[in-house]
Amino acid sequence: MQYGYARVSATDQNLGRQIEEFLKFGIKNNNIFCDKKSGKNFDRKEYTRLIKRLRAGDLVVIKSIDRLGRNYDMIIEEWKKITKQIGADILVLDMPLLDTRDKADNLVGRFISDVVLQLLSFVAENERQNIRARQAEGIALAKQRGISFGRPKKKYTEMFVEVTELYIEKKIALSDALDLLDVRPSTFYYHLHKLSQDFQ
């Protein structure tokens, strides 16, 4: 049996192009599984349904490797589960080398696909490390120039600071503090906590 798996990251993105490729390939509409969810992990409803239906000898078709997921370590684990534990095949339409099928000897196809996948994983991980290194260098240089990171601290008025000090020192009641500042208790306590952190 042939199955197609399509994925986009957001609900407002279109699955049409991927589905069209599967139909051209000859996959029946009711054998196409689609998720509109991030590729950070495999906790996806339709993908889970597909895996449960898969049997040895079946074929899973995806348009590109990043449609399966964006974490290559997790992709490799999932790839092994499909090809080795279940015994199904995988075909990536945009990268014909990632095709575990082979007419002469299926082991050859799977071996080539495994090597290509490992190579892609290495390249992706290497690029992630390079990006992290570049970010760290950029942050270090920015800090040397006096650039601060994170959300700017809220600047409180003298009135707010005075009222909170009076409240902390128990010189006024909570109701008086709320009236003076014209805020709700939850808002007052939130900013009281933030203000106390600023002075720590």
Give residue for tokens 């054998």.
Answer: 31
Q: How far is CA 7 from its chain centroid?
A: 13
Q: Could you confirm whether 121 is annotated as catalytic?
A: no
Q: Is the C-alpha dihedral spanning 54, 104, 119, 124 positive or negative? A: negative
Pull the structure tokens for residue 63.
């348009």
Give the span between the Cα atoms of 18 and 49, in whole angstroms. 18
| Token representation of residue 2 | 């042939």
3-class secondary structure, 26: coil
Length of the chain: 200
**Helices in the chain by DSSP H: which ranges?**
16-25, 45-53, 65-68, 72-80, 106-144, 158-168, 174-181, 185-198
Which among 9, 38, 64, 121 is annotated as catalytic? 9
Q: Cβ atoms within 10 A of the Cβ of 5, count?
A: 24
Rounded Cα distance between 23 and 18, Å, is 9
Bridge partner residues of 5 (DSSP)? 33
Catalytic residues: 9
